[in-house]
């Protein structure tokens, strides 16, 4: 036996590994934990309405890594035949109008009717804020806890085109997971309403009663897109003003040309806080669906949207490819300087960049 080490700093050997933990098995657990589920495994989970499989698949769809793109595309291809059996509702309105509060009340009402509700968002500004819905989860307290609801914040870190495409693919995944009512929220700024309008069946503009100048500051385009205007916060002292606003909006909507759907946009008042009128909003959406499913417009619109998104995806990927090419990045900077110094016309500079990109 070796004599004990006299140093005070000496350490004893640790206790040996107990036999019950086999290093073989421990290794297996670690490797299983690290293994990414295959697209088929995720799809199987999604078709069994497994929300964690759904979330993992959405994360793949949202990833910008080319590695994930292939897996994401495979999952979407598997999900497509199961998708489409849903109603997609877009909701827009300026900050503070009550979108989150309304979606909470409306979502709870719908799950109460036995529906499965997914709430998504298109919010390209969320790169910094990490999605308004996320901060909002406190405002959707009941809906978050509802097993028949799924809330997912906006994809971030990209252009509007990128965020919108990913949201559209996320719709497919949610539908395959059995969500039959998809609500897509967007803040009424920039072009995001147009993007949301092009992926939904029904587009709802949320407003509050102002000081009698209801139509001021509303972009004409948004009014034209709206299938319904809902005047929120019609409670307390506001009820009368909300009613007046309803009349004014009704009058204004009649001035727009008839929609291809044959639907005359409706105006309704509600209070997301007291939940008063939330049922009427669903009532008018149901009327709309009955009309457009009957006259074929519902299916036609979805077909047109599919083609639109094919073209959008091409635009987006071409742009990304062009602008992320390191050689082009350098060359663009060079040409920008040349344009600035009047050495070349903007059109000639653009042409020279295109020629270089396409090796002409």
Ligand X SMILES: Nc1nc2c(ncn2[C@@H]2O[C@H](COP(=O)(O)OP(=O)(O)OP(=O)(O)O)[C@@H](O)[C@H]2O)c(=O)[nH]1
Instruction: Tell me which residues touch ligand X (CB under 6 A).
Output: 93, 95-101, 132, 136, 139, 187, 232-233, 235, 271-273
In the complex, the smallest distance separating the C-beta of residue 262 from Mg ion, rounded to whole angstroms, is 32
Cβ 103 to ligand X shortest distance, Å: 8
- Region for 114 from its dihedrals, namely left if φ exceeds 0, alpha if ψ lies in -120 to 50, beta otherwise: left
Q: How far is CA 57 from CA 96, 175, 199, in A?
A: 32, 13, 20
Nearest distance, CB of residue 118 and ligand X, angstroms = 17
Q: Which of residues 98-127 bind Mg ion (CB under 5 A)?
A: 99-100
Length of the chain: 360
- β-pairing, 117-121 vs 181-187, is parallel
Rounded least distance, CB 197 to ligand X, Å: 18
Look up tokens 């519902």; give the residue. 298
Stretch that binds Mg ion, among 12-20, 26-34, 108-116, 134-142 (CB under 5 A): 134-142
230: CB partners within 8 A, 6+ apart: 102, 204, 205, 206, 207, 267, 268, 269, 270, 281
Which of 4, 236 has the CB closer to ligand X? 236
Write down the residue that tokens 């385009």 correspond to: 221
* C-beta of residue 264 within 8 angstroms of C-beta of residue 271: no
**Distant-in-sequence, close-in-space partners of 129: CB < 8 Å, separation ≥ 6:** 135
Q: How many CB atoms lie within 10 A of CB 251?
A: 12
Rg over CA atoms, the chain:
27
Q: Which residues contact 22 (CB under 8 A, 6 or more apart)?
A: none
Distance of closest approach, residue 136 Cβ to Mg ion, in angstroms: 5
Out of Mg ion, ligand X, none, what residue 126 binds, judged by CB under 5 to 8 A for its kind, is none
Closest CA to 258 of 284, 229, 288, 227: 227
The smaller minimum CB distance to Mg ion, of residues 100 and 111, is found at 100
* Structure tokens, 352: 């020279």
Least spacing, CB of residue 276 vs ligand X, in Å: 8
Judged by CB, which is closer to Mg ion: 99, or 165?
A: 99
Q: Max alpha carbon distance in the chain (Å)?
A: 102
The site map against Mg ion for 189-228 (x = CB under 5 A) is: ----------------------------------------
Nearer to ligand X, 102 or 202 (CB): 102
CB closer to ligand X out of 14 and 95: 95
Rule CB under 5 A: say whether 248 interacts with Mg ion.
Answer: no
Using CB positions, name the residue nearest to ligand X.
98
Closer residue to ligand X (CB): 173 or 234: 234
Terminal-to-terminal C-alpha distance of the chain: 82
181's contact among ligand X, Mg ion, none, with CB below 5 to 8 A by partner kind, is: none
The distance of closest approach from Cβ of residue 117 to ligand X in the complex, given in angstroms and rounded to an integer, is 16
Question: From Mg ion, ligand X, none, which one binds at residue 265 (CB under 5 to 8 Å depending on kind)?
Answer: none
Binding site for Mg ion (CB under 5 A): 99-100, 132, 136
């Amino acid at each position: 036996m070796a004599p004990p080490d006299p140093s005070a700093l000496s350490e004893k050997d640790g206790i040996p590994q107990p036999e019950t933990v086999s290093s073989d098995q421990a290794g297996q657990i670690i490797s299983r934990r690290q293994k990414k589920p295959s697209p088929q495994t995720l799809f199987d989970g999604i078709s069994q309405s497994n929300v964690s499989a759904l979330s993992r698949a959405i994360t793949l769809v949202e990833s910008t890594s080319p590695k994930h793109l292939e897996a994401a595309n495979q999952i979407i291809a598997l999900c497509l035949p199961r998708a489409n059996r849903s109603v997609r509702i877009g909701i827009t309105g300026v900050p503070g109008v009550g979108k989150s509060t309304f979606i909470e009340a409306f979502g709870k009402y719908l799950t109460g009717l036995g529906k499965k509700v997914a709430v998504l968002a298109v919010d390209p500004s969320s790169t910094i804020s990490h999605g308004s819905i996320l901060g909002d989860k406190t405002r959707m307290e009941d809906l978050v806890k509802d097993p028949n609801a799924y809330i997912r914040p906006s994809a971030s870190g990209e252009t509007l085109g990128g965020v919108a495409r990913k949201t559209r693919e996320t719709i497919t995944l949610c539908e395959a997971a059995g969500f039959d009512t998809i609500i897509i929220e967007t803040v009424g700024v920039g072009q995001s309403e147009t993007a949301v309008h092009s992926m939904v069946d029904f587009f709802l503009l949320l407003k509050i009663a102002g000081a009698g100048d209801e139509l001021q500051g509303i972009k004409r385009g948004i009014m034209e897109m709206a299938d319904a205007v809902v005047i929120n916060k019609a409670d307390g002292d506001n009820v009368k003003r909300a009613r007046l606003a309803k009349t004014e909006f009704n009058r204004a909507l009649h001035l727009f040309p008839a929609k291809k759907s044959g639907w005359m946009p409706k105006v309704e008042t509600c209070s997301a806080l007291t939940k008063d009128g939330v049922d009427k909003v669903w009532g008018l959406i149901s009327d709309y669906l009955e009309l457009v499913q009957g006259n074929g417009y519902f299916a036609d619109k979805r077909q047109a949207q599919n083609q639109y998104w094919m073209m959008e995806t091409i635009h987006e990927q071409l742009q990304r490819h062009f602008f992320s090419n390191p050689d082009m990045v350098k060359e663009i900077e060079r040409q920008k300087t040349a344009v600035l110094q009047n050495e070349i016309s903007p059109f000639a500079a653009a042409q020279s960049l295109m020629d270089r990109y396409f090796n002409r």
